[in-house]
Amino acid sequence: MRLFLLDHGAGNVQSLANSLAKLGYPDYKWIKNAHDFAQLHAISDSPALIFPGQGAFHTAIQSLHDRGLFEPLQEYLASGKPYFGICVGMQVLFASSAESPGTQGLGTIPCPIVRFDDADKAVPHMGWNSAECLDPSDPSTLEGVSSTSHYYFVHSYCAKYDPSTPAAEWAHSTTQYGQELFISTVRKQNIFATQFHPEKSGPAGLNLLRHWIEQSRRGRTLAPSPALCITRPPKPKDGFTKRIIACLDVRANDDGDLVVTKGDQYDVREKFSPSGATVVRTAGAVRNLGKPVALADKYYTSGADELCLLNITSFRHSPLRDQPMLAVVRAAAEKVFVPLTIGGGIKDSVDPDGTKRSAVEVAGAYFRAGADKVSIGSEAVYAVEKLRAANNVADGTSAIETISKVYGSQAVVVSIDPKRVFINPATYDGPYREELVYGQDPDQRGKAWWYQCTVSGGRDARPVSVVELAKGAQKLGAGEILLNSIDRDGTGLGFDRDLIRMVKNVVSIPVVASSGAGTKEHFVDVFKETNVESALAAGIFHREEVRIEDVKGSVKEAGFNCRVI
Ligand code: 1PR
């Protein structure tokens, strides 16, 4: 059997390649155009084709047409040879998608892809969820899908499960998100496809990939249509888990080596006191908490649901000349099989030699290196200021818009660095009266504040509130918000729940709570007191004060779904 991977030009296809290398199948061929496809027919071995990736439905279909792959793929699907579609590689099998009205899919499954309802939940459906096979009675038909495992999903559109439609003939497993039930795997004859990303689903996903490759190697038997009309009413609670994310702030130390560092309220230099009395800030060396790739590997093994690598000084220079950071992402992606978010310097930029780089180009370099999402900080603030100046009319030029157009909004995170601005409520006549928070804790009583956004790692404050930024980021096309707090960063005082609630109330995209975690109970608190989907920490994991496994144990014990490996 010879393995072929279809590269339609967008999204992180490198992750799949890394997974295959990890599983011991380094011998595959990329298909990028019709000529490559012809080779698939020319070989004497029987072929097996994987179509990985994420991105917008229209972009994927258009790219198949542009590369001369649309018809060859239709012919391949009809040929009875093994096909494994991942995420957009599953959705293109359908007739159409509400994501791109007017664009015709491959039409193998004569049903439409529709959008999730965001009235009761965040959309995209981003994170870990379970998948239940419709007919679990015959283990030989499960394709390695385990009802006790969790898989990583990231999508805003889905194939609804409805036993009365022709899609039900293809449905192999279903997943519940909120009260909506959708098809998470399809299987019929030579075709198998997953809405989730096995290459990003940790050991459970790698098992599933291995299973399909081994089956294809041995010669797959054609799968019959599953029995129709299996009704499956939604359960009171879905299988969607709370995500626990480890964050690595990366920068060059004074010797020029990239290290993981960690600040207190964004100050990453050692504090020292020559006299023993006065604390001198910003005088010491950059704190070095370890090497980025080694730590990423350690957190993956410990069960982190996602990793975030932030290049915290990238605003100083051109990110594409920052080859060490790209090398770090590449090396981390070879070891880590859960989603990787990369931030820092994702913007239009100019190299020292005058070469212009668009934000899409910068993001594309990170995606090709193995990133699944990019996170935009400073540029998001400027984009929202521009949006406000244009009376809330987007012009399509911001990094958020250009990247989400090509790679899909689920690949774009906006990282917010807010800081409290204390005011006297009796005399305050600024524009943020509706957004004031009145302190409730004993040490905050009588105080009131609003949250101001900053750029350049908290160095410059901008005239934008966190509410304006969050709403603007969503309008421009961001798929997730990483919500830091300069006041709480590195303090260990717990997450700023007022801030998190405020942002969750004004957006429908997922939010990551960040900054201030000091104990495992802080994670339980933030999940109990806000409806945030995920929580991130840095310092406590780096200093080994709290283990990821223990955080997950507490979160699970408190009654939340949590992925445990
Ligand atoms: O503006 O697009 O180039 O992006 C720069 C990115 O770098 C932004 O996401 C910004 O948040 C981040 N950043 C810049 N300077 C710093 C710094 O610390 N000096 N780090 C910085 C942000 C905050 C979190 C941290 C949590 C959890 N770090 O990433 O990991 O606060 O920490 P804790 O659990 O220890 O409390 P651009």
**199 catalytic residue (yes or no):** yes
Q: Does 565 map to a domain?
A: no
pLDDT tier at 155 (50, 70, 90 boundaries)? very high
For residue 416, give the ligand 1 atom closest to its CA.
11
Whether the predicted pLDDT of 190 surpasses 80: yes
Cα gap 550→245, rounded to integer Å? 13
Whether the predicted pLDDT of 523 surpasses 70: yes
The finding on whether 490 has its CB within 6 A of some atom of ligand 1 is yes
Cα gap 105→110, rounded to integer Å? 9
Residue of 163, 141, 151, 65 whose CA lies nearest to 105: 65
Residue found under tokens 């717990």 = 494
For 222-271, write each residue's pLDDT tens digit: 777 666 668 888 999 999 999 999 999 998 887 878 899 988 898 888 87
Looking at residue 28, its pLDDT comes to 93
Atom 8 of ligand 1, residue of closest alpha carbon:
377
Q: Which of 287, 489, 551 to mutate to test the pocket of ligand 1 (most atoms within 8 A of CB)?
A: 489
For 268-286, write each residue's pLDDT tens digit: 888 765 555 545 445 688 8
Q: Does 373 or 314 have the greater pLDDT score?
A: 373
pLDDT tier at 355 (50, 70, 90 boundaries)? confident
Instruction: Kindly state whether residues 434 and 334 are assigned to the same domain.
Output: yes
Instruction: Out of 218, 235, 259, pick the residue that ends a domain.
Output: 218
The finding on whether 415 has its CB within 6 A of some atom of ligand 1 is yes
C-alpha 263 to ligand 1 mean position (Å): 9
Looking at residue 129, its pLDDT comes to 98
Whether the predicted pLDDT of 321 surpasses 60: no
Kind and range of the H or E element at 500? Answer: helix 497-506
Across the range 176-205, mean pLDDT stands at 97
Secondary structure of 174-229 in the HEC alphabet? EEEECCEEEEEEEEEECEEEECCEHHHCHHHHHHHHHHHHHHHHHCCCCECCCCCC
Across the range 133-140, mean pLDDT stands at 88
* Domain count within the chain: 2
Whether the predicted pLDDT of 345 surpasses 60: yes
The answer for 103, left when phi > 0, alpha when psi is -120 to 50, beta otherwise, is beta
Atom 16 of ligand 1, residue of closest alpha carbon:
457
Q: Which of 8, 36, 87, 99 is catalytic?
A: 87
Question: Under a CB-based contact definition with an 8 Å cutoff, are residues 259 and 291 in contact?
Answer: yes
Instruction: Kindly state whether residues 318 and 170 are assigned to the same domain.
Output: no
Across the range 32-53, mean pLDDT stands at 90
Q: Does 58 map to a domain?
A: yes
Looking at residue 140, its pLDDT comes to 85
Q: Does 117 or 282 have the greater pLDDT score?
A: 117
**Each residue of 10-27: b (16+ CB within 10 Å) or e?**
bbbbbbbbbbbebeebee
| Domain with 105 in it | 2-218
Residue of 543, 507, 523 whose CA lies nearest to 244: 523
Distance of CA 348 to the CA centre of its chain: 22
Looking at residue 482, its pLDDT comes to 98
Cα gap 130→311, rounded to integer Å? 33
Atom 17 of ligand 1, residue of closest alpha carbon:
266
Instruction: Kindly state whether residues 97 and 193 are assigned to the same domain.
Output: yes
For 445-502, write each residue's pLDDT tens digit: 889 999 999 999 999 999 999 999 999 999 999 999 999 999 999 999 999 999 999 9
SS3 (DSSP) at 332: helix
The finding on whether 345 has its CB within 6 A of some atom of ligand 1 is yes
The finding on whether 515 has its CB within 6 A of some atom of ligand 1 is yes
C-alpha 513 to ligand 1 mean position (Å): 13
Cα gap 393→541, rounded to integer Å? 42
**417 catalytic residue (yes or no):** yes
Whether the predicted pLDDT of 5 surpasses 90: yes
The CATH number assigned to the domain holding 384 equals: 3.20.20.70
Instruction: Kindly state whether residues 187 and 300 are assigned to the same domain.
Output: no
C-alpha 266 to ligand 1 mean position (Å): 7
Instruction: Kindly state whether residues 178 and 309 are assigned to the same domain.
Output: no
C-alpha 456 to ligand 1 mean position (Å): 10
**249 catalytic residue (yes or no):** yes
The partner residues of 113 in beta bridges, in order of sequence, read 97
Instruction: Kindly state whether residues 483 and 367 are assigned to the same domain.
Output: yes
For residue 492, give the ligand 1 atom closest to its CA.
36
Q: Does 277 map to a domain?
A: no
For 418-451, write each residue's pLDDT tens digit: 999 999 999 999 999 999 999 988 888 889 999 9
Residue of 39, 42, 45, 43 whose CA lies nearest to 6: 39
SS3 (DSSP) at 530: coil
ipTM for the whole complex: 0.98
The finding on whether 538 has its CB within 6 A of some atom of ligand 1 is yes
Q: Which of 417, 489, 496, 498 is catalytic?
A: 417
**322 catalytic residue (yes or no):** no
The CATH number assigned to the domain holding 59 equals: 3.40.50.880
